Amino acid sequence: MFGRLFRDTPEIIIPKVIVERSTKRVLTTEFLEGLDYYSMLDSVDRQAKNRYGLNMANFLGYSLYHYGAFNADPHPGNYIFMEDGKVGFLDFGSVKIFSKNIVELWREGAQLVLNGDRKGLKEWTIRAGITDGNDKRFDWDYNWDLMYIQHKPYMTSDFEYTKEYVSEVNNYFIHNKNKASAKIPPEWLFLFRFQFGFTSLMADLNVRNDWRSNMDAIWDKPYEGIGEDVSSVGEIYRGKIPTPA
């Protein structure tokens, strides 16, 4: 599925599945030549790391906001770093498919934060079902701060992922003042899982870029989701559902 979705994106490499060598329990793919994560960290310069980081971010951004599907397991072993900044993505054993409504809701929430719209975010938080707006325990200022820190890389035209930033994000979640009063929709847990892993990888790379312009370019493209739930994945694999070119 991901191979078909990104077949026209040369910087993002998905190994082809060798169907005749695969079973229900064994997935066999073509072999990708390149560096593993830790070898890459020790052997390439800052410019190369920035290219890799940008392609990793593009894979996430387009997967989620354009196709409504993403791999929720950003493990260091699931990447192969190739020449010319190309990144190979492996092991799609933890994939989540999201409906258009959820994806558009996330897009709206992010843009409210980036526009500094506190009132709009409050209304959005209630519509998202995180709180009904009547629980006096809910700390609206903390809710804003939590959303802001998550979107901090997109606040400026020049942001560097650091381990200090990752610690800052993690502390907001660990010491979340709204733990007892917020109701997080179950499907969002996949996104949080990915976020923690992805920001840690980007901090290890210590990448720096204009993430805001890059994300704006992703958001400018219309949603072309593959389906409302994971049941559509098998149909795509068998070629019964047309996918975006």
- Structural domain spans, the chain: 2-98+211-237, 100-209
> Contact at 8 Å (CB) between 214 and 54?
yes
* Phi, psi of 152, deg, nearest 5: -55, -40
The helix/strand count (H/E) of the chain reads as 10, 7
Predicted local distance difference test score (pLDDT) of residue 231: 47
Predicted local distance difference test score (pLDDT) of residue 96: 82
Take residue 130 and report the two structure tokens written for it: 């995180």
> Contact at 8 Å (CB) between 134 and 96?
no
Residues of the chain with pLDDT under 70: 227-245
Predicted local distance difference test score (pLDDT) of residue 26: 87
Predicted local distance difference test score (pLDDT) of residue 244: 42
Per the listing, tokens 């998550």 go with 150
Per DSSP, helices labelled H in 44-158 are: 46-61, 100-114, 118-127, 140-150
Per the listing, tokens 């312009």 go with 213
CA distances from 17 to 5, 86, 91, 97, 126 (A): 14, 19, 11, 20, 43
Listing from the earlier edge strand, what are the strands of the sheet with 87-89? Answer: 12-13, 87-89, 79-81
CA distances from 143 to 63, 68, 82, 123, 140 (A): 26, 25, 40, 12, 5
Whole-angstrom distance, CA of residue 234 vs CA of residue 114: 37
Whole-angstrom distance, CA of residue 94 vs CA of residue 98: 13
* Phi, psi of 94, deg, nearest 5: -140, 70
* Phi, psi of 80, deg, nearest 5: -125, 125
Of 114, 147, 148, the residue nearest 130 (C-alpha): 147
Predicted local distance difference test score (pLDDT) of residue 241: 42
Predicted local distance difference test score (pLDDT) of residue 227: 57
Q: How far is CA 212 from the centre of its chain?
A: 15
